[in-house]
Amino acid sequence: MLRQLPPTGNNGSVPDPTLPSEEYLQRQRARELRVAHFEAIHIRLGNLRLLLVLLEVAAIFFYLRTPSFSGRWLLVPLVLFIAVAVFHSKTLQRQSLAKRAVDFYRHGLARIEDRWQGMGQLGDRFDISTHLYAADLDLFGHGSLYQLLSVARTRMGEDTLASWLLQPSPLPAILERHTSLADLRSRIDYREDMAILSDNLQTGVHPAELTQWAQSPRQLKSRFVRWLALLLTILMLVAAAFWIDSGVKAPFFTVVFFEGILVLLHRSRVESILHQTEHALDDLQLLSSLLARMEQEPFAAPALLALKERLSTSSSTASQAIARLDTICQHIQSLENPLMRLLDIPFLYSVQLAFVADAWRHRYGSAVIAWLATLGEMEALLSLATYSYEHPAYPFPDFLSGEPAFHAVSLGHPLIPDSRCVRNDIALGDQQRVVLISGSNMSGKSTLMRAVGINTVLAMAGAPVHAGSLQLTPLRVGASILVNDSLQKGSSRFYAEITRLRHIHDLADQDPPLLFLLDELLQGTNSRDRLIGAEGIVNALLSTNAIGIISTHDLALTALKGDSIHNMHFQDEIEDGKMKFDFKLRNGPVTRSNGVELMRLIGLDV
């Protein structure tokens, strides 16, 4: 008995009546005007800087040639040049942000207009070699679901989105995401800011390294040494002033001598802290900017407010703490400057920095992992919210309770352009637990199974689906669609397939229930063994709580018996010597195959 769970209060439609493409195009043109505006300012400021250089040269000339010409006039062009240079730098930064905003909307339009292939992140750093559906459903790589979805700029966001696609989420988390996406998708300014802030498009921060550094034990605990370092620095400055004033240099070199001893005594720990900090904390500016923007946004969804709450501590916000850490790292990197190395011992610069970095780690280290996870979750939500906004016709699925079920009306494949996408209705569950799809080569069997699988993945990640409507119970996908032999492992395609089937069967008793997708079942063996094996596999799966789809072009398999097995098919026609497909799913088994016709059409004499 199936029962629909309470609705989330939103069906995927966008509240703003303006079409996403119109909104994006309008904003893109506005940002292009800003780019042109800043370009004009950039040119004028460049000319002004050149003029100030010429004025400075003229002032120097008059100063050298005219005794009565005051040297103070030399400062006027110099001061003006510095002021103009600072303003010029800020103008270029604003222009850079405007250019990135143009790219943000240009990429959004490309996704809306199905021109997105080749843009965005591939996600090919994720290891899916043994995953039971990622490769089969084109989740990662060129033209993949991940490339379509991801707008993440940090590894945390990339990892979180990938994990949502690779594992089904709990139902409460899915319903919570529906509410969050409904809040986020209309916040276009916020989504734009999160896509363009800071100087770097992507952050180099590695969450594992940052977390490991933040949670490492404190190495410089002595308050006495810290205060002694500060006292010696002050004494050095006083002794230096005394040397300049009186010419007596002994006090200065005495203080420096004791500073050198302090550095030698703590050299190993100081260098260890500085090395760990510089290596683990590369490129924190973007991290700080994204956290700060997230802290400023007045969300409405309870889950988003809870996310923002995680970024606050008793003394400061996450963005403030990360910004301070970024400043510490910049100072550490400045030690590579030869001048700073020369001044290191007199000012005890490295020792002071090591104490500051270690103190930061002691104060905020335990919160870092939560901050990174929070930002990662926000970026994953932004990716799904962007997808939802750009596809306003895609609804959120309705979840059912009870026995496993999948009921789709007008189901399409999100990676196929709408202009070429043929939609179908399909139902699994109740008395129809297995749909056996037969049909000729290239008729659409594999594409339909991929559409079922990829929309289930979207549904279980909390995203909208490419369908008129979709009702399903929580499901876990197991697919055998893209299975190949391996020379390195010495396994045939048939052995690789039955190994995959074994792993899929092992999922059948897990929660949530299994949705299996088996394409061209056991095609690597003879017809007799295929029929016996297919019957055994189907019975084994039906003995569990699983539902699924099996495709074949072997007409013998359509004779598989069982009250829960329902035959459907795709058909083809030959017109004017060409094979025609309408890719529409029909009831019953297919009555003929097209293999011989295809061979004849390409010129084989059969």
Q: Which residues contact 519 (CB under 8 A, 6 or more apart)?
A: 445, 446, 449, 479, 480, 481, 551
Q: Are 120 and 107 in contact (CB under 8 A)?
A: yes
Domain closes at, from 79, 99, 116: 116
Residue 499 lies in a domain: yes
Q: Can you tell me whether residue 426 is helix, strand or coil?
A: strand
Q: What is the pLDDT of residues 391-419, one digit of tens each?
A: 999 999 999 998 999 999 999 999 999 98
Does residue 281 share a domain with residue 342?
Answer: yes
Does residue 91 share a domain with residue 30?
Answer: yes
Average pLDDT over residues 533-538: 81
Does residue 518 share a domain with residue 422?
Answer: yes
Domain closes at, from 390, 407, 428: 390
Q: What is the pLDDT of residues 192-218, one digit of tens each?
A: 999 998 766 666 667 777 777 777 777
Does residue 428 share a domain with residue 306?
Answer: no
What distance in Å separates the CA atoms of residue 187 and residue 182, rounded to the nearest whole number?
9
Q: Domain count for the chain, please give it.
A: 3
Does residue 313 share a domain with residue 211?
Answer: yes
Residue 473 lies in a domain: yes
Which residues lie across from 434 on neighbouring strands? 548, 565
Does residue 213 share a domain with residue 350?
Answer: yes
Does residue 432 share a domain with residue 363?
Answer: no
Does residue 411 share a domain with residue 384?
Answer: no
Does residue 386 share a domain with residue 423?
Answer: no
pLDDT at 486 exceeding the cut of 60: no
Q: Which residues contact 115 (CB under 8 A, 6 or more apart)?
A: 109
- The CATH number that applies at residue 480 is 3.40.50.300
Residue 154 lies in a domain: no
Using alpha carbons only, what angle is made at residue 509 by residues 508 and 513, rounded to the nearest 5 degrees? 65
Domain closes at, from 98, 116, 134: 116
Q: What percent of the chain has pLDDT over 90?
A: 45
Average pLDDT over residues 112-126: 90
Closest among 62, 137, 89 to 456, alpha carbons compared: 137
Average pLDDT over residues 337-352: 77
pLDDT at 272 exceeding the cut of 80: no
Residue 417 lies in a domain: yes
Q: Which residues contact 54 (CB under 8 A, 6 or more apart)?
A: none
CA distances to 365, 545, 548, 553 from 517, rounded to whole Å, are 45, 15, 6, 15
Q: How confident is the model at residue 577 (pLDDT cuts 50, 70, 90)?
A: low
pLDDT at 54 exceeding the cut of 80: yes
For residue 296, give its domain range.
Answer: 207-220+266-390
Average pLDDT over residues 270-294: 78
Give pLDDT, residue 105.
96
Does residue 414 share a domain with residue 372?
Answer: no
Residue 184 lies in a domain: no
Q: What is the DSSP letter of 334?
A: G
Whole-model pTM: value is 0.86
Q: What is the pLDDT of residues 24-38, one digit of tens each?
A: 999 999 999 999 999
Does residue 402 share a domain with residue 385?
Answer: no
Q: How confident is the model at residue 13 (pLDDT cuts 50, 70, 90)?
A: very low
Give pLDDT, residue 201.
66
Residue 1 lies in a domain: yes
Does residue 379 share a domain with residue 520?
Answer: no
Residue 128 lies in a domain: no
Residue 434 lies in a domain: yes
